[in-house]
A and B are shown apart, each in its own frame.
Chain A
Amino acid sequence: MSEQLIVPTMAEMMAEGKQPEILFWVGSAGSYDDRAKKITRAFVKILNKANVNFAVLGTEESNTGDVAKRAGNEFLFQMQAVMNIEVLNAYEVKRIVTCDPHSFNCLKNEYPGLGGQYDVIHHTQFIKELMESGRLTLEGDTYKGKRITFHDPCYLGRANSVYEAPRDVLKKTNATLVEMKRHKGTALCCGAGGAQMFKDAEPGNKEINVLRTEDALETLPEIIATGCPYCNTMMTDGVKFKEKEGDIKVMDIAELIANA
């Protein structure tokens, strides 16, 4: 009983002579990772519900090169960036939204120097915008009174000082927002950043995601909310490690809102 999503591509739009108001940058995780794909679908559900005139690049999108850059491979990053910028500029893209803070940071901060100037926002910022302009309204009370704690993704929070948008969106669900001891500027990384997602950790006495999950568990949450596909994976693994997956859900804000 798959719900049919409307996902126009830039190529289709162009063929019809149309220009979307915003480009949805899906990102590699959002395109291929099984867990992250659910976030992608949830976000599209929101876009469809709010009648947002958007498009994706589809098979013309390629990895931003962000993870290569953090790994130290500036060549690969710039090759990817230049290719993507060529496509984006050809479609005269002005505004981009993405569910991945790493893509967000990379497109927003590192593409301009290579010729890609766009207004880039994170999906939590866009959802907030849709709610405040009245294009998106929450009918249900699914999360009323539920204890939700938000884990700040490093590349959204510290890296770009976006702390309030995700919290503002969560507050709109009438949930009880509980903060971890380390939050906002001092939030602990989930352990996936800087290309760690793709390698084993160096020897130590604990996994970073387990430490961060312990931070979250201290708040006795029913839901751990995230705004990053990598954080989501790390926190989900952490919750499983703590054998709490029966009681606590790890959800992206897009999923929370899509189900509200």
Chain B
Amino acid sequence: MEYLPNIIFAVILIIGIGYFARNVKKLIRNIKLGHEVDASENTAERWKNVINIALGQSKLIRRPVSGFLHAIVYVGFIIINIEVLEIIIDGIFGTHRIGQEVLPASLYGFLIGSFEVLAVLVLVSVIIFWIRRNIIKVKRFFSAEMKGWPKNDGNIILYFEVVLMCLFLVMNASDTPFQAADSGNVISQFIAPWFSGFSEGTLHIIEKSAWWIHIVGILVFLNYLYFSKHLHILLAFPNVYFGKLEPKGKFNNLDAVTAEVKLMMDPDADPYAAPAETAEDEVPAKFGASDVMDLTQVQLLNAYTCTECGRCTSECPANLTGKKLSPRKIMMDTRDRLEEVGKNIDLNKGKFVDDGKQLLGDYITNEELWACTTCNACVEACPVSIDPLSIIMEMRRYLVMEQSAAPMELNNMMTNIENNGAPWPYNQMDRLNWKDEN
């Protein structure tokens, strides 16, 4: 019976981490539904971006208020998590504050002291975040796509953080030996008096309860990530690594099209030739994207990384002028559809069975796609290198090349280019007329 707590702890830990690992596997499987991307080059530049943009949060700080508060929560969370290491060791081996025994008293005091200060700073920041979302009502949290679950999700994460930070402080405040040692209890010494009326036994129960709820809370939070927008705390790093390195204006040239264009332009090509022999199971190339499987793995990773901050949407010229397009919604729709496809695969023993739905139409409408000016404001605004524009472009390609579903005026424009090499119906031979006009 002596080892019961250790065993219970180990079991909870294994379940917590195991379930999370299971979902991570699912996430990777879902991302792999997309086309492969070659990111083997420029690894130095990619790592540099990870350090500057992901670790260093260089793009977040462009909005000073939210950027600063985010930096506190981010630093706080990473550093306070060192404490989790001690909790895990204590839990498994039945020790109490192993750090206090193995580390020099001054170092341990310094560490716990900084955790306590950070915990308070995180608490304050999180409360301000909550106020921004619920009282001040910062506009970007109130777009059409933020109703229902996305709104609650944002708040639930904040509540989680408040509870976890409070538990950490209570755990320290009710730890009599820790308070008696009087080193590192920078904040908790002011909370300790609240418990002064309790007996030592009660205090011990409070301390142990806080300790247990804290670690269980962390494991629940870890598992909550997969079901929420909060995956960015992990995925921001790979996402930035795989982010676009080329100039933002450079859109990819479709290789499948290049092959056909080369053939068309080849004077030696026989127009009546039978198509080259192809393997029977070879699917003809589909131009553009109508569903998540047509996107790249990086675009799908983008979708899981998006934390719905809405900086993209708040800079989108179409959205600012009341159009339906919202780059954030493009990312949320892509993720939601990918999750739907993933569940379909789970239910059908590892194979996707056509559900009669797709990303285009059932999630993202043509109206949204055609409102985009391709201005790259959303791409520039994203703090974690998400590229909503590339998804919009792939879907436009599908609309135009597979469905001939461009707006009529654009069809006219394209016909003009085909016929006379300009988007307007002017004669090619008049191209130099400007020379002699005034």
Contact = CB atoms under 8 A, between A and B. Distances in A.
Interface of A: 1-3, 5, 7, 9, 26, 28, 30-33, 37, 40-41, 44, 56, 58-59, 61-63, 65, 67-76, 78-80, 82-83, 105, 108-110, 113-114, 154-155, 158-161, 185-186, 188-189, 191-208, 211-212
B320 A211 contact: yes
Contacts, number: 220
B249 A62 contact: no
Interface string B221-265: 000000000000000000000000011111101100110111011
B426 A32 contact: yes
B253 A202 contact: no
B380 interface: yes
B414 interface: yes
Nearest to A193: B373
B434 A72 contact: no
B6 interface: no
Given A185-B380, A199-B409, A105 B417 contact: no
Contacts of A82: 261-262, 265
A74 B401 contact: yes
B266 to A, nearest CB: 11
Contacts of B158: none
Contact of B370 (A69, A199, A204): A199
A191 B260 CA distance: 33
B417 A154 contact: no
Interface stretch (B127-135, B210-218, B391-399): B391-399
A32 B377 contact: no
Interface string B380-403: 110000000000010011111100
Given A31-B434, A191-B373, A71 B249 contact: no
Given A193-B373, A194-B375, A73 B318 contact: no
B147 interface: no
Contacts of A67: 413, 417, 423
A72 B249 contact: no
Nearest to A153: B375
Given A159-B248, A207-B321, A31 B373 contact: no
A226 to B, nearest CB: 15
B323 interface: yes
B422 interface: yes
A189 B413 contact: no
Nearest to B248: A159
A5 B247 CA distance: 35
11 contacts: A1-B438, A2-B438, A31-B433, A72-B393, A73-B400, A74-B397, A79-B264, A108-B247, A154-B249, A158-B375, A160-B247
Nearest to B315: A186
Interface in B272-306: 287-288
B396 A159 contact: no
Contacts of B426: 32
A52 B323 CA distance: 46
B179 interface: no
A208 B321 contact: yes
Given A72-B401, A82-B261, A185-B380, A155 B323 contact: no
A238 B256 CA distance: 41
Given A189-B377, A208-B318, 16 more contacts: A5-B435, A58-B431, A109-B246, A109-B247, A154-B249, A154-B375, A154-B376, A158-B248, A158-B379, A189-B373, A195-B413, A197-B423, A202-B367, A203-B322, A208-B317, A211-B321
A73 B396 CA distance: 8
Contacts of B433: 31
Contacts of B431: 26, 31-32, 58-59, 61
A110 B253 contact: yes
A59 B435 CA distance: 12
B246 to A, nearest CB: 7
A107 to B, nearest CB: 11
Contact of B421 (A1, A72, A80): A80
A108 B421 CA distance: 20
Given A74-B253, A74-B397, A203-B323, A62 B432 contact: no
Contacts of B436: 2
B374 interface: yes
B133 to A, nearest CB: 23
B424 A71 contact: no
B430 A189 contact: no
Interface string B400-428: 11000011011011100110011110101
Nearest to A210: B321
A58 B423 contact: no
Contacts of B397: 72-74
Contact of A161 (B247, B287, B367, B399): B247
Contacts of A206: 321-322
Interface in B137-161: none
A207 B430 CA distance: 32
Contacts of A198: 409-410, 412-413, 423
Contacts of A108: 247
Nearest to B325: A202
A43 B322 CA distance: 37
B372 interface: yes
Contacts of A202: 318, 323-325, 367, 370-371
B429 interface: yes
Contacts of B413: 67-68, 71, 195, 198-199
A26 B393 CA distance: 26
A188 B317 contact: yes
Given A26-B431, A41-B434, A193-B375, A78 B250 contact: no
Contacts of A192: 373
B270 interface: no
B268 interface: no
A160 B249 contact: yes
Contacts of B287: 74
B41 interface: no
